[in-house]
Each structure stands twice: as C-alpha cells, then as structure tokens.
Amino acid sequence: MTPPAPTPSSPLRIGFLGAGLIATYHSKSLRHSGAPVERRGVYDPDTARAEAFAAASGHTVYATEDDVLEDCDAVYICTWTNEHPRLLAKAAAMGRHVFCEKPLAFTTAEAVAMAEAADAAGITHQVGLVLRRSPAYLWARHLVTAPEAGRVMAVVFRDDQFIPIQGHYASTWRADRNLVGAGTLLEHSIHDVDMLRFVVGDVVAVSANTANFHGHDGIEDVCTASLRFAGGATGTLTSVWHDNLARPSLRRVEIFGERRHVVIEGNDWFGPVAWIDHDGTAGSLEGDALVDAVTPMYDDEENPDGAFVRAVLEGRPATPDLWTAVEAHRIVDAMYASAAEGGAAVAVEVGQQ
C-alpha cells in the first residue's frame, strides 16, 4: 500500500527503523523542531527497546520493518551500519523519503550504490552528518574563509570519547565488525572528516595509522592521520576511543590561517569559537550569541530533523544528502588503505559534492 503523497499543509508521517540512542536523539530533535509530523511505526529487533522508544516518543511498535515502511511517508534508518544499504534500498523501492544515519555503509562503493538508488527513486534523502548545521562549525567556516584570514595553512583536529559499547551509549554492537564494519574512524570520525572538508576544503591525499587496544576484531580504537588539502593546507586528525567515562565525546579543532587563528572547543554545537587576527584583534562567541551570528547563514534552519521534514514537504532536496556522505567515505576508505600499507600516502578521489 502506498500512502498519499505528503503536502506542505499536511503532517509528514514518520517511521523509525531502529530504536536506540540515535533514534531517540532524532525523535527529540523532531519534537524541538516543531516540524509538522505524525508519528507512526517503529521497529527494532529488540522489542523492549522498541517499546521504550514508543512510550517516550508517541510512535507505535510494529511487528516488522515492512509494517513501518507501509505506513509512513518518510523513514529514519537508525540501525547498525550493515543494515543501512538493505533498508535504504527497500525504502527507496517503496518511494519512502529517507533520513539515514552515518556511516552509510562499510565502503564507498556501497555508499555510492545507496545514493544512486535514492536518486533513481526520486526520493528526498538526508544523512546524519548533523555537524554541518552546528553553529560552531558554521562560524569557524565563516572565519577561515573570510579574505582577511588569508589562506588556511594547517588544521589540528582531535576527537575523543569513551568506547561506545559502554556508558550511556550502550552500543554493544559497535564491538562486532560484522555489524559496524570498523571502529572509531568509520563509526565516529566520519563526522570529523566531513567537517574538515566543510571548513577547510577538499582532501586530496592522506596518510594514516591505526591501533587496537581493546582487542575487538577489526575495531580500531585509535586513528592518527595526516591530510593534504586541495588548497595547499595540511592537517592532522586524531581519533581515540578510550575508557575514561568522564570524557563522553569531546572535540578540539585548531585552524591556522595566514592572518587568523581559530579554535573550536567545548560544545560541538554552541562553542565557544575563539579567534585572533594578525593585528591583535580577538573575539569569542558561544551559546545564544553564536546562534544569532550564524542564523543568517542557514539556507533553511538549524535543526537538521526539522530541515529534513520541511524539505520533503516542500518537494526539494535535503542537505547534507547521501552524496555528501559519499565524499566523506572516500576519505575514510583512503585512510584505511593507507593504514593497511603502514601509513603510505594514498590519493583521494575528489568528487563533486
């Protein structure tokens, strides 16, 4: 059964496949966005988890994923990674609009196939690279691309959190390479790779090394990488999954321009973002002041879930879409190829997104 096409005047019927932590995040985000949605089905192979999600969100537990897809206009795919390609293909074949969590898949080739399937079906598609709407990263991008900053020369990006098989993440599946594909680089720092592209520009070559301290097969918990950008800048990325539960998910980004230095730290969304120029002029923005500064920069709105719903209802493309994620996958794949060769330099194919 195909439901009637949504219109701008009617709420979008939303289903969820997967009912874990990230699904809960998107459900809450939808509520905060005020977007016009009608909450329909949720399916998770863990019935207790689906029931807890439904009780908190207002969705209804359905017996199968097919039941969810039959009864929605758009679906959130919030499962472990190895299910993403299959579920997106099924949703696209049924004409359902899709918000798919990152990473899209284990490899770039799979991610490309997903994006091609979504385009062929004519559906609206968005990926969970939510930092593209972060006021902190938008403001940093504004600062480093301004003419007075000069060219970006170097960037230092550090990302660490406790390994998410424990604590409030409780994602035990992230220790199973058959479900998740790999470790901290693919599963977590694909956000960071995307932000490096977003803020600094295309990456043309990488060199990387990985390590595995926890001993889970195929799940690296450390990655250090060097990057070369198309604009001439160089950078480093350090991604770590440790056991220090006092550090849930923390990033620090330092960007050196010819005439401006920019630092993002603290909260991924609300900063602070600090800068100092060659003439001694300095500034810092965080919280509401940061949000106010970047509000004119949004094409639609800050909330990624509200933006997805409104893109569907207005019949236009969403952003970031699956093709944006494909470009991040290209860089991640190159880093894994480099690590497999002991850190050898690997060229990155530069796409169009």
Residue of 202, 210, 233, 201 whose CA lies nearest to 330: 202
**pTM, two decimal places:** 0.95
- Check residues 299 and 85 and name the one with the higher pLDDT: 85
Cβ atoms of residues 53 and 59 within 8 Å = yes
pLDDT at 193: 98
Give the confidence band of 299 by pLDDT, cuts at 50, 70, 90: confident
Give the confidence band of 3 by pLDDT, cuts at 50, 70, 90: very low
pLDDT at 351: 72
Provide mean pLDDT across the span 219-245: 98
pLDDT at 170: 87
* Domain covering 131-300+321-347, topology: Dihydrodipicolinate Reductase; domain 2 (3.30.360)
12-130 — its CATH code?
Answer: 3.40.50.720
pLDDT at 5: 57
pLDDT at 300: 85
pLDDT at 166: 94
Checking if the pLDDT of 6 tops 80, the result is: no
- The per-residue pLDDT for range 145-189, each reduced to its tens digit, is 999 999 999 999 999 999 999 999 989 999 999 999 999 999 999
pLDDT at 52: 97
- Rounded Cα–Cα distance for residues 12 and 40 (Å): 10
Sequence ranges of the domains in the chain:
12-130, 131-300+321-347
- The per-residue pLDDT for range 13-58, each reduced to its tens digit, is 999 999 999 999 999 999 999 999 999 999 999 999 999 999 999 9
- The per-residue pLDDT for range 66-101, each reduced to its tens digit, is 999 999 999 999 999 999 999 999 999 999 999 999
Checking if the pLDDT of 218 tops 90, the result is: yes
> Percent of the chain having pLDDT more than 90?
94
Checking if the pLDDT of 264 tops 90, the result is: yes
